[in-house]
Amino acid sequence: MKKKVIVEDISIAHGTSSIPAKIYQERRYNVRYSMGKKGAILRLPIHLSSAEKIQYTEQFIRWVQQQLDKRKDLAQQYQPKVYQTGDTIQVGERTYELFVAKGDRKTHSAKVMGAMIELKLSEHQEGMALTKSIKTLLSRVIAQDFLPEITERVHAINHSYFQSDIKQVRLKYNRSNWGSCSSSGNINLSTRLLFAPQPVIDYVIVHELAHTKEMNHSKRFWSLVEGVMPSYKEKEKWLKQNSHLCDF
């Protein structure tokens, strides 16, 4: 039997802006609030009365506003970002200037030309969808620009401390983690990491290389990390406090 779900879209005001939210009424026994990738989410039991729904919705709105007050960067996550010709992006020690052209085209494209990134955008996409497409494009071309030196750094640290068989180093836009290590020996790093200081980048590299020896987070794993980088906890703290600064 298919689940019955009622979905309602609302907008929650915060300061001079607003963020999108969805209210789901479904077969469930409890009420749940969360902040999703595309907006806030309220999940309600389907059997609630109109008065109860209004009560929980008002509580949900207050909860969302409290989350936005606690984290000043959170609201930005749900707002379209405008990219214009002449804007600059600072990534590590490199500064890129944007040249943006919109036209009647089906797809977007980007390429690095020295210190300039040329963005050719379709005028048929806008809002958060366009922002997501641009971030993906910027991540892709900047990853290509940084990949040689990041690959060299991974192999240098590996040679000095781990001597593992590394198949490939990859840079890819990822918000769910800073890096990962596959069982086949691929080291994957988020392009968002390129905005971090070099010692922090090195920590994530060490973390993933340690996984080539221990595919877990056991005491032995953390002992390997600490043996290479005794101050690794400071780097983790930096990532937690500054993750909102690491994005395109």
| Cα–Cα dist 82/84, whole Å | 6
Boundary of a domain, candidates 77, 101, 132: 77
- The pLDDT value given to residue 81: 86
- The pLDDT value given to residue 61: 95
Q: Let me know whether 176 and 107 are in one domain.
A: yes
Domain containing 123 — which CATH number?
A: 3.30.2010.10
- Is 1 a member of any domain? no
- Is 83 a member of any domain? no
| Cα–Cα dist 63/155, whole Å | 46
- The pLDDT value given to residue 143: 97
Range of the domain at 158: 88-245
Q: Is the dihedral of CA 137, 138, 143, 145 positive or negative?
A: positive
Contact 46, 217 (CB under 8 A): no
Q: Let me know whether 140 and 38 are in one domain.
A: no
pLDDT tens string 45-97: 999 999 999 999 999 999 999 998 888 778 878 888 889 999 999 999 999 99
- Is 82 a member of any domain? no
Q: Which H or E run contains 26?
A: strand 17-26
Q: Let me know whether 210 and 165 are in one domain.
A: yes
- The pLDDT value given to residue 17: 80
pTM as predicted: 0.77
Boundary of a domain, candidates 53, 77, 101: 77
- The pLDDT value given to residue 3: 61
- Is 236 a member of any domain? yes
| Cα–Cα dist 25/30, whole Å | 11
Boundary of a domain, candidates 52, 77, 102: 77
Residue 246's nearest CA partner among 183, 185, 194 is 194
| Cα–Cα dist 64/12, whole Å | 8
Alpha carbon 55 to its chain centroid, in Å, reads 33
Residue 46 corresponds to which tokens in the numbers above? 């389907």
How many separate domains does the chain show? Answer: 2
Give every residue of the chain whose pLDDT is below 50, as ranges. 1
